[in-house]
Amino acid sequence: MKRLCSGLMALVLIVSLAAGCAKKEPPSGIFYDVTGIDPRNTAYTVGDVTFPAEAYLYWAAYACSSMEYNLNMYRAYYGLYEEMFDEDGNLLWDKELEGTPLIEQAEQQAEGNVRFYAAIESKAKELGVALDEEDRAQLAESFADTMEQMGGEEEFQENLKLMGISRETFDRITEDGMLFQKLLDLVMEEDSALYVAPETYEESASYADHILLGTTNQETGEALSDEEIARKRATAEDLLGQLQSAGDGVEALFDQLAEEYSEDPGRAAAKGYMVTADSSFVPEFLDTALALEPGQVSDIVESTYGYHILYRRHMADVLREQPEQASALAEEHLYDQLAQLADGFDLKASEEISALDLKAFYTSYNAKVEEISAAKAAENDTGDGADTGTDTGADTGSGAAADGNSAAADGNSAAADGNSAPADGNSAPADGAGE
């Protein structure tokens, strides 16, 4: 899952807008240049929440750039998705991935961002959640640090220009990131309107530990001899017998035996793994972990890694001992709740947004970004030739936030599930459970 309140966008919020203007300025900016759409015009109305065109176009450019970037990475490192590119390395937006053209997936991601940010604002309003002076002071301090890291006000403005958003929209998206965090705090706060008791998470997740007796050489990946595999099986049967006879002492005995016998190098740190239906564990481990009841030991389970004996720990105990797991589950829960709320919204797009050709927009946007970056580079060449850092890396998914450095573009929006690389599950590290 992608995380709110991370990256540049989650670091900033200073609300210092003028009370009004006597005269409306003419439209301008990179999005206006490539679409002719006034960036201040309302793009979407979601219930009683509206978003300007620049916010939607930013999310649309990000959805495209992140998809392009991630597919390029998978192609470069794993040789996957070669068919998605032409011979010049250009992404073929009409190609289908899991039955849906890439450009349609990008459109869905952008629209999902609209819905999700509206859900954050609506839920916060419903519960009376707002930023207080301490929140604003914290964000202002973080913003000052970020501004300094970026090279100052001028570089910050240059980045906003390339992202196509105004300071007002930048601040709004940032504020939404902080509101998400405050809602998350309520999920973990007893007696709050959003509180979720630890035991409730048993319904959607399992915390499973295991004893693994491997049937392959961990260094070479080669299968062990038949004699060695037989010995591993006999050991597994002996350990299972001990556990089945342990009665109320099964957890303590499991800990002891796992410490002594388990050959999974990944389990020691946290005594197991958090498992949900969409986890990337090998199927045998995943299915068994979800089927067990809390406090129950499995039979011997065979996978490509070897012989497993699983034990499902009680969630309340796990979350008490591992607060970071509680935070992760709470975030997942809040995400799901807001996503459900978002799906129920009546979404209305403006006529000019409905008529937008996203593929043509993204192509024109990239060209404009490259033009601006080239002009900036030429300007610097007349000076000391220093790299400005404004080049967005068009060959791997250029444009708004392709590198994750742009505001609100690093998965801050929940609807950005598709922002991560399409995973085929074949590249998961082999830590004994297969995650």
User: What average pLDDT does range 246-251 have in this prediction?
Assistant: 94
Asked whether the predicted pLDDT for residue 220 surpasses 90, the reply is no
Interatomic CA distance for residues 312 and 297, integer angstroms: 7
Long-range CB contacts for residues 235-241, cutoff 8 Å, separation at least 24? 235/261, 236/211, 236/300, 236/307, 236/309, 237/300, 239/211, 239/309, 240/297, 240/299, 240/300, 240/309
State residue 389's pLDDT score.
Answer: 40
Lowest mean pLDDT among 59-63, 214-218, 274-278, 398-402: 398-402
State residue 435's pLDDT score.
Answer: 56
Render pLDDT for 106-125 as a digit per residue (tens, 0 to 9). Answer: 999 999 999 999 999 999 99
Q: What are the helix (H) ranges across 79-152?
A: 102-127, 133-150
pLDDT interval class at 366 (50, 70, 90): very high
How many Å from the N-terminal Cα to the C-terminal Cα in the chain?
Answer: 15
State residue 245's pLDDT score.
Answer: 95
Asked whether the predicted pLDDT for residue 133 surpasses 50, the reply is yes
Mean pLDDT across the chain, nearest whole number?
A: 83
State residue 217's pLDDT score.
Answer: 87
156: phi then psi, degrees, rounded to nearest 5: -60, -45
pLDDT interval class at 252 (50, 70, 90): very high
List the one residue out of 131, 119, 113, 110 whose CA is nearest residue 49: 119
State residue 419's pLDDT score.
Answer: 36
Report domain extents, the chain: 9-17+26-197+326-419, 199-321
Asked whether the predicted pLDDT for residue 368 surpasses 70, the reply is yes
What is the dotted CATH code of the domain comprising 199-321?
A: 3.10.50.40
Asked whether the predicted pLDDT for residue 148 surpasses 90, the reply is no
Q: Report the DSSP pairing between strands 306-313 and 206-214.
A: antiparallel
State residue 99's pLDDT score.
Answer: 95
Asked whether the predicted pLDDT for residue 222 surpasses 70, the reply is yes
Bigger pLDDT: 399 or 276? 276
State residue 198's pLDDT score.
Answer: 87
List the one residue out of 292, 307, 288 whose CA is nearest residue 240: 307
Helices then strands, each counted (H, E), the chain: 13, 9
Asked whether the predicted pLDDT for residue 413 surpasses 80, the reply is no
Render pLDDT for 173-184 as a digit per residue (tens, 0 to 9). Answer: 999 999 999 999
In sequence order, which residues have a C-beta less than 8 Å from that of residue 100 and are 6 or more positions away?
108
> Model's pTM, two decimal places?
0.74
Residue whose entry in the numeric block shows the structure tokens 């830590």 = 431
pLDDT interval class at 34 (50, 70, 90): very high
